Structure 1
Amino acid sequence: MEQIIQSPGKYIQGIGAIEKIGAHAGVKSFVLADEFVMGITREKIEKSFKEVKEEVVFEIFKGECSKNEVKRLEEAAKTEKCKMVIGVGGGKTLDAAKAVGYFLKLPVMIVPTIASTDSPCTALTVFYHDDGTFDEYLFLPHNPDIILMDTDIIAKAPSRLLVAGMGDALATYFEVKSCVNSNSLNLVGGLPTKGGEALARLCFETLMEDGEKALMAAEKKVATKALNNIIEANTYLSGVGAESGGLGAAHSIHNGFTILKECHHLYHGEKVAFGTLAQMFLENYPMDEIEEVAYFCKRVGLPVSLEEMGIKEIDEEKIMEVAKASCAPGETIHNTPFKVTPEDVFAAIMTADNFGSSL
């Protein structure tokens, strides 16, 4: 079996990075963003394209990454004869841009305005129906050509989104270790590489070193070196590390918790953070390593107990349903280096809750 590492063609990050977007694109481009994001970025993007004497076409993304919306955007970009697709904003906008680029066989630039997950770097689009319900995944042949992160814009986003990104990134190191130890496939159909392992380890080290400091900056909406490092960890180190290293129990446990309405208010990374703690108990990590992760979560505001997840009264039958959903066929929890049962997951969740509640 081959080892495979996959990543974006170019990753650009810095204060004011969006002011050079025209130079990085270099061709007539189709820019899509929702109304709010368009309002805060259009002027800078327009100016940048004028500076390099290239045309730019703007289109408002209507909010749902559905096949109908992607088809509408595709037709608009085709009519304007654009040579690159640029998505600016959050998850669904960026997924739509990836899909439009794929169907038109055009290069794609992704410009996130938040750092709440590692999805911008991935070769994946999630389609929803027009009513917002899940449709299907579109697995892309390669990652976006360019990722552009403007640290100043991201610093001004709600700090909770940055923390959620840290929760998502927190799982990367531990899930990649599981895949390596079990010889499981990564998200691009190959075995993990040493490069993927190294990025996952660096992601964790960066979170431990700079996570708290980055939150302090984000709360004041200012960009510091620590915030810059965490944006890279949340987006690139976690994204490429996870895609090329693989996923494990933490994301499956996250998926299990999505069946509980009490957890619907949580962001993806907030559930993943608790899933990471549960994974560490499932795999019987040393106590000092569990404590390091748990105390980090407490300091930045990630949940470490079921109560902090929104579950005020514990119904063991519901938690067992979460555990069963976590172990569904095809879930990445089966990349754990030993056979995992719902009973094992239930025990890990309850133990993680007991520990987290004592902090």
Structure 2
Amino acid sequence: MTQMICSPTKYIQGHGEILKLGDYCLKLGAKRAYAIIDPFIYSMYKVDILHSFEINNIPLMLREFKGECSRTQVDEMALELGLKDVEVVLGIGGGKTLDTAKAVSYMSELPVVIVPTVASTDAPCSALSVLYTDAGDFDCYLPLKRNPDMVIADLDIIAKAPARLLVAGMGDALSTFFEARACRQSGAITHAGGTSTIAAFSLARACLDTLLAEGESALQDVKQGITSSAVEHIVEANIYLSGVGFESGGLAAAHAIHNGLTMHEGCRNVLHGEKVAFATIVQLFLEKASDEEIAQVIDFCKRIGLPVTLKELGIPDSDIDKLMVVAEASCSQGSPMKNMPFEVQPVDVLEAILAADKRGQ
């Protein structure tokens, strides 16, 4: 079986990186740039971003991101930058801004530089964009030809984001090793296009080890406004280790169950990584994992504030019919549940959800 691993061409993490964006684009050989920027980042860092391009004599067109990461907006931006003879696209901000930039670069066949300003998911490094309708409903996944040319994480900006977002990123990253392990056992084909490599599985393992060792310390430091080595390591784990780990290690039950949970209205205000954290516990119950491993994961979630019960997700534990809808959705056609090393039925998922909730209580 063919093994594959993919990753961004270059991952850069440090302090004050927002001031160096022009330098990095110059190294890509770009003479004109187009940046899609979150409104908050636009208001706070517009001058710094413009200056970094001015000193490198690179004209920069700034586009404030508004609305949705939709086909309509992507097509509009691709047409706009085509008229400006742009040579590189930048995405600066949160998930939808970054996905828009990746989609625009794909449509325009241009290099893309991704600058995440939060560490709430592992999506920045991936060769994938999630598209929505103009009304905000899920549309489709857009597979891209390649991973970003650069991913640049500015610790000074990321550390100032709400602590809940860093915790959500840890929840997303928490699933990486367990899903990669399941895919390795089943021989599943990953998003990279082949089976997992030693390198991808090692990154997934390093991701979990980093979370368990430094996650709680990083959270306390962020709350105090300290950008410590623990914060640096968790940002790398959330964005890079988990990003390469999930894409080349594979997704399994945890993300399948997360997708099912999005069907429940009680979870509307729950962040992606928060749902994934609980779904990871459910996967461990599906696998009949050791009591020690389950206890370790639940304890970690409790210590940093990730949900371990249905109530914390906004779901009544008596809501069996709606939980069955979640379970059925997690096992639907095309779900990553197929990557588990054994057959999983909706009733199995329902039982594991209830068992996880009982243990969490």
Fold agreement, TM-score > 0.5: yes
Check whether the contact 1:197–1:245 (CA below 8 A) recurs between aligned residues.
yes
Aligned residue among 328, 337, 340 for 1:336? 340
Distance 1:8 1:242 in 2: 13
Q: Determine the structure 2 residue equivalent to 1:222.
A: 226
Contact 2:218 2:231 in 1 (8 A): yes
Give the C-alpha shift of residue 313 in structure 1.
Answer: 4.7
Q: Distance in 1 between matches of 2:323 and 2:186?
A: 27
Q: Which runs of 5+ in 1 are unaligned?
A: none
Counting only pairs closer than 5 Å after superposition, residues 1-359 of structure 1 correspond to structure 2 as 1-26=1-26, 27=30, 28-357=32-361
In 2, distance between residues paired with 1:311 and 1:128?
A: 25
* CA drift at 1:34: 2.9
1:206-265 deviations in Å (ceiling 9; x for gaps): 000110111112222331111111111001100101100100100111111111111111
Q: Distance in 1 between matches of 2:62 and 2:324?
A: 48
Q: Deviations over 1:82-106 (max 9, x none)?
A: 1100010011111111111111111
Percent identical: 50
SS at match of 2:140: strand
Q: Which amino acid aligns with 1:17?
A: E
Contact 1:159 1:218 in 2 (8 A): yes
**Aligned-partner residue type, residue 301 of structure 1:** G
- CA deviations 1:105-154 (Å, max 9, x no partner) are 11000001111101111101111111111222211011010000000101
Q: Is the 8 A contact 2:9 2:148 kept in 1?
A: yes
Q: Could you tell me whether the CA contact under 8 Å between 1:10 and 1:147 is conserved in 2?
A: yes
TM-score by length of 2: 0.97
How far does residue 312 in structure 1 lie from its aligned partner after superposition? 3.5
Could you tell me whether the CA contact under 8 Å between 1:3 and 1:192 is conserved in 2?
A: yes
Q: Secondary structure at the match of 1:308?
A: helix
For 1:111, give the aligned amino acid: V
Which residue identity lines up with residue 240 of structure 1 in the other structure? Answer: V
Assess if the C-alpha contact under 8 Å between 1:62 and 1:69 holds in 2.
Answer: no
Q: What is the number of equivalent residue pairs in this alignment? A: 357
Residue type of the alignment partner of 1:242: F
**2:67–2:134 CA contact under 8 A, matched in 1:** no
